[in-house]
Structure 1
Amino acid sequence: MNLIVVGCGRVGAELSYRLFKGGHQVTIVDSNRQAFNRLHPDFRGRTLEGEGLAENVLDRAGIKEADGLAAVTNSDTLNAVVAHTARTYYHVPVVVARNYDPNLRPVIESFGLQTVSSTFWGAQRVEELLINPSQRVVYSAGNGEVEVYEVSIPEAWNGRRLRELMEPLEQCFAVALTRAGRSFLPELGMPLQTGDMLNFSSTYDGVSALTSRLNGKAEA
């Protein structure tokens, strides 16, 4: 794929190198030539000095033939405008904008852009690890609003029905259960066994409620 990364900060430099290692053609744009010093020594993509919003810079970066663009500068406003321009004016198929300030997320999302909010997601993940270290996240969607968790069924829940654990919880849905190394789609009427690994899709509020119920039953 032909990909453009606008912004060669720590995220942009790491992203560009990962894309390059994945076999993609990468052009990274930054207004500060010194920023390219952050790139890995093995990076063999293109570097282009210039303003990421300048039409001649985007043209030289090959935006008309680009398969995707990531705007990851340290300016939320610039990221939003560059990404919006790439999608609406140049019709780049896949566009992603990085977001720093959580208060500006609604503004960026109002453009209909895919956003990655490192601040929001990072804070939520640290909170999860601090408060409930036993919860293992196996997949995160969006900016962590919905995640797939994995928990082990404790002995106190042996023989109880999955329905007792999951209902009437909201924003929490069982998606897989692994028993003795074999995974299958769970049914609410099935009995649980000690050591079962349950995967469920949930919001943060949902997983908190499920964990409380699981621990509460275990203590009963």
Structure 2
Amino acid sequence: MNIIILGAGRVGETVAESLALEQNDITVIDTDAARLRQLGDRFDLRGVVGNGIQPSVLREAGAQDADMVIGCAADDETNLVVCKVAHQIFNVPNTVARLRSPDFVEGSELLGKGGFAVDHVICPEESVTRYIHQLIRHPEALQVVTFSQQRACLTVVRASSGDAVGRTIAQLRELFPDIEMRIVALYRLDTEIEATPDTRIMTGDEVFVLADVRQIRQVLHAIHHRDKPVQRVMIAGGGRVGLRLARSLLDQCEVKIIERDAARCDYLASQLPSSTLILHGDGADEDLLRGENVGMMDMFLALTSDDEDNIMSAMLAKRLGAGRVLSLINRRAYADMMQGSTIDIAISPAHTVIGELLTHLRRGDVAAVHSLRRGTAEALEGVARGDAKTSKLVGRRIEEIRLPKGAAIGAIVRGQGSECEVLMPHHDTVIQTDDHIIIFIPNKRDVRQVEKLFQVSATFFG
């Protein structure tokens, strides 16, 4: 696909990297020539220097031949305008805008073809908030993503003290007869281990498990020791993410927010109830953390816009006794280095939104995409359409479906409404029309091959 990205900031860079890896033709527009040169040296893409909302600049970027324009600039207004210009002047078929303001996101009449012509909206701050909220609900997990209208769930958990630890995958069915789950991947010391029936789950393994969403707690407790519910949360950073998260936790947790900007503290106090304690200070101030009993916190969240500040405050909170610590880290090298060490979970804000964006790019009938392992792997939900003559899936047994090395069909969601069921397929399970098939893909470069399975062709005869 020919894709134009406006904005070479953190989100734009992550989007460009992810899409360039899939052999798309990427053009990035930005006013910073040096920044574009840096991206061009790292990724296979073209840079155009200029103001991306100007038709002449979009024309130079190839908008007349573009399949999609993605507005990733820092301000909402620019992203809205570039979508309008791309649609109105160049008839670009798909437009995506990164929007922060809920006023724009909720105003659907502004985004339609008669308004700014935005086909899809991405909001990293909202995606991060949902991501963290799931981890607060399930403190044993490293990542929780759902499929098929929240019927099936992929959970990433580090093996620790659960009854499954030390057992082979084949033994799990006997050990947990009431839990329908499928281990689709294992990573040991950051290296993928083939998940065969004889593979033994070891302490420290990063385990990817698919299950019915109603059984998520049983799955987590089978692999990881049971953590107490999160009741006390401390947030370092009262920016957009910190405020969104605090609002979402009002009825669930006791929340403290540390914010270094006095004016922002006043604003937070005006937006949140008095039960939320707003503290003016530095999240890396040891005296402040001790004074506010950080060691009594079930979870400490470092959510400022500065990677180094987040790393330092999270490491300090962990040393002072906080239960779990989570840090927003934009630089992938930092995130890879810190994840699972002193810092329990490192989150890239830009990567949390990649799955939503990829859903709109996938060929075939793809219902959902989730980016995993900071963008190196992917879980994809596709819908089997057609019949045995026109589909590469319908009417075929699982063992007949050709998948890339390491990829695995983890679950099938079949039926609608009260008749809906989540199946853990076996080698002889036959795919039916309208089945929602969830596939784990360890190597992002193999996604195109998986996409083709969901494309119906009138000329396909097996």
Q: Could you tell me the TM-score, scaled by structure 1's length?
A: 0.84
Give the match for residue 159 of structure 1.
395
- 1:4 and 1:61 in contact (8 A); partners too: no
**SS of match in other structure, 1:215:** coil
Give the match for residue 280 of structure 2.
49
| Whole-angstrom distance in 1 between the partners of 2:458 and 2:352 | 30
Task: Find 2:264's aligned residue among 30, 35, 41.
Answer: 35
- 1:2 and 1:24 in contact (8 A); partners too: yes
1:25 maps to 2:254:
yes
1:6 maps to 2:266:
no
1:1-220 mapped onto 2 (5 Å cutoff):
1-21=231-251, 23-36=252-265, 37-38=267-268, 41-43=271-273, 44-87=275-318, 89-109=319-339, 111-113=341-343, 114-123=345-354, 125-132=356-363, 134-137=365-368, 143=374, 145-155=376-386, 156-157=390-391, 158-165=394-401, 167-180=402-415, 181-203=420-442, 204-215=444-455, 220=460
1:162 offset after TM fit, Å?
Answer: 2.0
| Whole-angstrom distance in 2 between the partners of 1:140 and 1:106 | 15
- 2:233 and 2:253 in contact (8 A); partners too: yes
Q: Which has the higher contact order (CA 8 A, sep 6+)?
A: 1
Distance verdict in 2 for CA 1:13–1:143, change over 3 Å: farther
| Whole-angstrom distance in 2 between the partners of 1:41 and 1:103 | 35
| Whole-angstrom distance in 1 between the partners of 2:354 and 2:276 | 32
Distance verdict in 2 for CA 1:206–1:61, change over 3 Å: farther
Distance verdict in 2 for CA 1:26–1:101, change over 3 Å: same
| Whole-angstrom distance in 1 between the partners of 2:337 and 2:406 | 25
**SS of match in other structure, 1:159:** coil
Mean Cα deviation higher: 119-128 or 92-101: 119-128
- Aligned Cα root-mean-square deviation (Å): 2.7
**SS of match in other structure, 1:174:** strand
| Whole-angstrom distance in 1 between the partners of 2:428 and 2:438 | 16
| Whole-angstrom distance in 2 between the partners of 1:128 and 1:208 | 13
- 1:100 and 1:118 in contact (8 A); partners too: yes
Query: Residue type of the partner of 2:422?
Result: S
| Whole-angstrom distance in 2 between the partners of 1:141 and 1:112 | 21
* Runs (5+) with no aligned partner, structure 2: 1-230
Query: Residue type of the partner of 2:328?
Result: R
Distance verdict in 2 for CA 1:108–1:219, change over 3 Å: farther
* Runs (5+) with no aligned partner, structure 1: none
- 2:269 and 2:278 in contact (8 A); partners too: no
| Whole-angstrom distance in 2 between the partners of 1:45 and 1:133 | 46
| Whole-angstrom distance in 2 between the partners of 1:129 and 1:39 | 38
Query: Residue type of the partner of 2:305?
Result: N
| Whole-angstrom distance in 1 between the partners of 2:316 and 2:365 | 43
| Whole-angstrom distance in 1 between the partners of 2:270 and 2:405 | 45
| Whole-angstrom distance in 2 between the partners of 1:42 and 1:54 | 24
Query: Residue type of the partner of 2:437?
Result: L
| Whole-angstrom distance in 2 between the partners of 1:20 and 1:133 | 41
1:210 offset after TM fit, Å?
Answer: 1.1
| Whole-angstrom distance in 1 between the partners of 2:380 and 2:362 | 15
Mean Cα deviation higher: 178-187 or 26-35: 178-187
| Whole-angstrom distance in 1 between the partners of 2:288 and 2:451 | 51
| Whole-angstrom distance in 1 between the partners of 2:458 and 2:259 | 54
1:99 offset after TM fit, Å?
Answer: 1.4
